[in-house]
Chain A
Amino acid sequence: MLEIRNLHAAVEGKEILRGVNLTIGDGEVHVLMGPNGSGKSTLSNVLVGHPKYEVTEGSVTFNGKDLLALSPEDRSHEGIFMSFQAPIEIPGVSMTNFMRAAVNAKRAYYGQEPLAATEFLKLLREKRKLVGLDAHFMSRGVNEGFSGGERKRNEIFQMAVLEPTFSILDETDSGLDVDALRIVADGFNQLRTAKTSAMVITHYQRMLDYLRPDFVHVLVDGRIVKNGTAQLGYDIEEKGFDWIKDEIAQ
């Protein structure tokens, strides 16, 4: 599904990613861990085409296509979704209008008619249930007055509506209380199929428990320095990152 080769990227002239290699196959869930500031969000933003991040070297192939050549909106249509680490507020753009624009843009990309109003509302209702988001959120502005946890829930709600094939969850678990985390993780698990994959960034073991990832990778200073299974994640939870840094130093 996704193949990242020797990816280098800079933000404001400063190199953050320094040669990332990562391959993600269909149906796989990969967890990305790493110390603060190691470049996890940078990698996510590069994959979704944030204009602030400049790719200086390397390639990314997504289902055979040159991902880096696509606009952010086309990457979205092609099936890439990012749950933002810090979802922002967009006052005045109602959730309903936002989702309608997003759903119909994707349909237009695939040559489909806009969704009829009743169908669309039904879709929203179904997906809200999946993450336990109350109806009144739909008439509010995007994340307007949402609590931190509600914003994260809203990210997974949007993911459910857009049905991406590759999802990036950037610390979606942080800020969620235990119950909310379970609901969000259950929602995410229900959306998993043999054709969908994910890259999940987390600092916590609880997420490993819920998601049972196929692989865990560790990013340090803009490079993936260690690959393993879920067990690697548990080791990090227990021992921190220093032992990995020591390993690299040797």
Chain B
Amino acid sequence: MTTHSASIYLDLYDQHAALLASRSNAVMNERRADARARLAQYGLPTSRIERYKYTDAAAAFAPDYGVNLHRVCSVSDPYKTYRCSVPNLSAVLRFVVGDVVMPAAPTAVLPEGLRLYSFAEAAAADDAALLARYYDRLARESTDGVSALNTLLTQDGLVVHLAAGTHLKSPLQIVNISAADLDMLSSRRLLIVAEAGASADILICDHSAGEHQYVSTEVIEVFAGEGSHVGLYTLEETHTTNRRFCHTFVEQAANSHVQMGSVALTSGLSRSTTDVVLRAAGARYDGVAAVIADAAEHIDHNVLVRHAAEGCQSDMLYKYVLDGDSLGAFAGKVLVEEGAQQTLSQMTNANLCVSPTARALSQPMLEIYADDVQCNHGSTIGRLDDAALFYLRQRGIAEAEARLLLQHAFINDVLQRIPVGILRERLAMLVERRFRGDLRCSGCALL
């Protein structure tokens, strides 16, 4: 079922296929025909599609956005002009402006065992083999038209490869900047492969410059090898004119541990889709999200965790503080497949609506085809506790400040679950500043 907005992009692709191909890595080009067929088949999802019932993607893509076919970049040297509010976090930093991957800083030195490069930079035979093996392997199985659109139009992206046993001491950071001189669609791509026993934490910061309508799709594929650890944290601090569709696919081998943390501070529309497969025994997935939204922001997390092997664990905590006319949606499903005995799973979504017009939609689901499992799920939607508010005010704390303390307290246990100390502290600081209203991620704006 081709929706109208899908046909815009199918036509655009058909017109410019040769140009797109000429500027992209061969492995990307190889996947386009299939992506085109899937986009034509599934269309861009409207809210009639179950997994998109809280977010009408087709409507979000309906304006005819420009695509950066000519690889123009409006920011010349982000390493000089950009300063992230999470400073000195990482020696390993890459910028992506729109969907143009910027070259690494000349001074950058990668730790032993880490390869970080763009698809365009992939050179060695080893790189080509890696891309051929992993690129689009998970995304291609999806019936999601948005990820098909990404595969159809993406021209570059980043690859993180961790050799077996590699242990990164400090987090690696990727900064995405939505910057354009006109309304724009960008298609970002990230491939993370952690070989057996490797461990790393990766922070992705999403920022924006300029106030043009901006829609980004991003597809992240994570392959966590046996016994590996991957921490993937996302900080979203963009603009109300931004629409972001991020689809993360995770495949976990035996005894691997993947932790995802998402902190949304400011955006327009943000839809995060996360598909996790726990493929072999002993794999463990932890997902947390802290959403702070106000005005007309629309934040939607959609999570599917498949327990495909026995003895795996998943633990999810999604918390939303919703103010103004914002809408926070959560739909999560834990699917325990036949034979996935001794599954342990917990999924919680809690919402705090601090204004009368904020709305929370919550749907945690369980589908179980094994008998020896322990699965819990639940959701709550509440308001600020009047008794607590009054207690604080009686002690002299002004109402606005008291509300802030309570909101911060509500969201704080999500932050406490971020195991990397330096990341946890910085994110907590940003959350605090966001609540105080003095965050337009000033440290991270273009100087």
Contacts and interface: CB of A to CB of B under 8 A. Distances in A.
A98 B390 contact: no
Contact of A102 (B388, B397, B406, B412): B397
B413 interface: yes
Contacts of B388: 88, 90
Interface string B352-390: 000000000000000000000000000000000111101
B412 A98 contact: no
B22 interface: no
A93 B405 contact: yes
B397 A84 contact: no
A88 B387 contact: yes
Interface residues of A, number: 30
B48 interface: no
Interface centre among B390, B394, B401, B408 (most CB of A within 10 A): B394
A158 interface: yes
Interface residues of B, number: 22
B396 A90 contact: no
Contacts of A32: none
A238 B31 CA distance: 91
Interface stretch (A10-18, A34-42, A69-77, A174-182): A69-77
Given A90-B406, A92-B410, A93-B406, A48 B396 contact: no
Interface in B398-413: 398-399, 401, 405-406, 408-410, 412-413
A141 B410 CA distance: 11
A97 B408 CA distance: 11
B395 A162 contact: yes
A73 B406 contact: no
B396 A92 contact: no
A82 interface: yes
Contacts of B393: 49, 71-73, 76
Interface in A41-89: 48-52, 71-73, 76-77, 81-82, 84, 87-88
Interface string A138-154: 00011000000000000
A217 interface: no
A210 interface: no
Contact of B396 (A52, A88, A141, A162): A162
Nearest to B393: A72
Contact of B405 (A76, A87, A97): A97
A81 B406 CA distance: 21
A236 interface: no
B425 to A, nearest CB: 15
11 contacts: A51-B386, A51-B390, A52-B386, A72-B393, A76-B393, A76-B395, A77-B396, A84-B391, A91-B409, A93-B409, A162-B395
Interface of B: 385-388, 390-399, 401, 405-406, 408-410, 412-413
Interface of A: 48-52, 71-73, 76-77, 81-82, 84, 87-88, 90-93, 97-98, 101-102, 105-106, 109, 141-142, 158, 162
Cβ-closest 4 pairs across A and B: A92-B409, A76-B396, A102-B395, A72-B393
